[in-house]
Chains A and B, each alone.
Chain A
Amino acid sequence: MNAPLVLIASYPKSGNTWTRIVFEKLRHGQQFSMNSLDGSYQGIHRRLLFDRLMTVNAADLLPDEVENFLPELYRELAVETSGTAFVKVHDNIRHTGWGEWIYPSDCVRAAIYLTRHPFDVAVSNANHFGISIEAAVDFLAEEMAPGINTTSLPESLDQHFGTWSGHVKSWLGGAPYPLTVARYEDLLSDPVSGFVRLARAAGLAHDASSVAGAVETSQFSVLQEEEMRSGFRERPDTCRLFFRSGRARSWEGILEKNLQDRLVRDHGAAMERMGYRPDGGVSPWNADQKFGSMETNRTDAYSSP
């Protein structure tokens, strides 16, 4: 099988939707509307996908059974996909209880992994999930096993992010696909070069001019304006606007120093690995480096404050 799935993976609020919009504009033209995005299979759409493609409903299964069935779900999605499907992924990459990758390598052609400075991720997640900044910082450090919520039926199937640093570690340390890693901040500072590289990795037909056009019409202000005009179907009930800030260092003036310190304490090794400085800045970083098991030792700058 010519593997048709391309995973766009990230911890939530790290540029995933922006990337998919740029990709779809490359595929379908610059008039493509963000409300026509498909292949996200997030929220209720992931449950609907499961119930459409599998013979039993996810709601009748225990969380560990749903997790064990996911590889077959994505194989089935691959079978019915013609061309390429960009699949939005917020899970950390892991094995099911039955020992398979949740996104099996036989139906995944490539994975793009996006990261963003955890200071910004915390602030953006607070807005996205309608929680306090402090709760968002806690959230980034919560391991939370799959299936922890068993007392209600959530709209979405369980997604297991794990901790922010565990998320980074899982994808950089062992994803079984051709992996391309990009930092949100680098995409912001030079979007055309960044998306040329990602389009190549995703197997999208492109040139610098088409990428420049797609980037131009996917600027944050354009997306925000479209959301205010027409709404955005991926916006959760918990936030007023999906497209909130769209810039680096959006945490400034919002994230208290003690919470910055906690994020560094909780995630220092992964921050250092990604070139995210404890002062909230971003260091130069080689995007094309080889990835493998992540170092867990951190240098002094990332030691507990």
Chain B
Amino acid sequence: MPQSNIDLSPPGRMASTTILTLDGPVSGVPGAFVREVHELPAHLPGGTRIAPWTEALPGALLFEVPRIARFLIKDGQTIDVLVAEGADRSAVKLFLETSARGTLIHQRGELALNAVTLIAPDWKCVTICAPSGFGKSTLAAVLCRNGWTLLADNITRVTWSGTMAVAWPDDARLKLWRDVCEAMRLDPAKLERVRDKMEKYYIPGPSATTPARLSIIVVLRLAERASSRALNVADNVFGLTESTFRTRQIDPLGMRAVHTRIVDQIAGCCRGVLLEGGRRAPVADVARRLAEAIR
């Protein structure tokens, strides 16, 4: 059985609360930095438009969230951010943690997954892949109440060590919408908002602070009843490919071959599980099914 080398805080106690600030390290990506700058070009010289307000070339990607910020991500090492006048800085931080960080991971030839990653009570490291809106965070919140520990939320960075897949912590705190907070008897008035005017809140809780050997990849699907089944390696490859953050960026960044290789490596060394249910099934059932499936 794969062993995790993770440090676990006692349940109920908050571990690291280092939050990605505008200036400073990129969480979970040692050596990479965010810099707030006062100027950034509106266009990327030599770049190609790849999406609205987004241009890329190998080694660089420039994107803008209109009226909030412009981000330049280079060489898998730096994120320069130009904050729009009067913008909500908590929103800037959010886009740094998600879109900018995901691109930076792509540029490094690593895997950026749309996934929440946790350490199970038996120390297995499990990444749950799904698009936003499928109920990953709600499931993770229930799992944390059942003794699991959060490692990464939203975008999980996975690297290949040469012999194993490694999932990296991102100073994660779960983000839950008000309705889920209330269902879990958490008082939103006592929680930090993810963004001004947004009824979504950071949930304090124990989180892992060191990388862990990734052993199980869970692909979460929507279904009215919770169920699970094992995936073979080919399904694993498919699941990882479709769960990769912004696959449209990979070719313009010149990372296709590297991406294909790391997906194959990671799919080949992790167990795969298809977990049906997501937000459409009772979350307690989905959590129970998952616990059974990873035994």
Contact = CB atoms under 8 A, between A and B. Distances in A.
Contacts of B195: 60, 62
B41 interface: no
A47 B134 CA distance: 10
A52 B244 CA distance: 11
A59 B224 CA distance: 22
Interface string A232-251: 00000100000000000000
Contacts, number: 73
B98 interface: yes
A211 to B, nearest CB: 35
Nearest to A80: B248
Contacts of A155: 133, 279
A55 B52 contact: yes
A52 to B, nearest CB: 7
Interface stretch (A71-79, A126-134, A252-260): A71-79
B33 interface: no
B133 A60 contact: no
A59 B94 CA distance: 11
Contacts of B197: 62, 150
A73 B178 CA distance: 27
Interface string B2-40: 000000000000000000000000000000000000000
Nearest to A56: B99
A143 interface: no
Choose among A47, A62, A151 the residue with the greatest number of B CB atoms under 10 Å from its CB.
Answer: A151
Interface string B134-163: 100000000000000000000000000000
Contacts of A152: 177-180, 199
A55 B53 contact: yes
A57 interface: yes
A128 to B, nearest CB: 17
A72 B53 contact: yes
B98 A153 contact: no
B54 interface: yes
Contact of A62 (B99, B132, B198, B248): B198
A178 to B, nearest CB: 25
Contacts of A153: 132-133, 177, 200
B1 interface: no
A6 to B, nearest CB: 21
Given A48-B131, A62-B195, A56 B95 contact: yes
Given A155-B279, A237-B280, A76 B51 contact: yes
Contact size range, B: 20 to 34
A73 B133 contact: no
- Classify the interface of chain B: helix, strand, loop or mixed: mixed
B199 A150 contact: yes
Given A57-B98, A62-B195, A72-B52, A52 B177 contact: no
A51 interface: yes
Given A62-B198, A76-B51, A152-B180, A56 B131 contact: no
A55 B132 contact: no
Given A55-B51, A60-B94, A75-B52, A150 B198 contact: yes
B54 A55 contact: yes
B132 A58 contact: yes
A53 B51 contact: yes
B246 interface: yes
A76 B224 CA distance: 32
Interface residues of A, number: 27
Contacts of A68: 66
Interface string B53-87: 11000000001011000000000000000000000
Contacts of A75: 52
Contact of B52 (A48, A54, A57, A151): A54
Contacts of A56: 63, 65, 95, 98-99
Interface string B83-122: 0000000010011001100000000000000000000000
Contacts of A55: 51-54, 63, 65, 99, 246
B98 A151 contact: no
B262 interface: no
A230 B272 CA distance: 28
B222 interface: yes
A69 interface: yes
A204 interface: no
A252 B200 CA distance: 44
Choose among A48, A52, A56 the residue with the greatest number of B CB atoms under 10 Å from its CB.
Answer: A56
16 contacts: A47-B133, A51-B132, A52-B248, A55-B51, A55-B54, A55-B65, A56-B63, A56-B99, A60-B95, A72-B52, A76-B52, A150-B197, A151-B177, A152-B179, A152-B180, A152-B199
For the complex of A and B, the 9 pairs showing the least CB-CB separation, nearest first, are A72-B52, A152-B179, A151-B178, A59-B132, A55-B54, A151-B199, A55-B63, A152-B177, A47-B133
Interface of B: 51-54, 63, 65-66, 91, 94-95, 98-99, 131-134, 177-180, 195, 197-200, 222, 224, 246, 248, 279-280
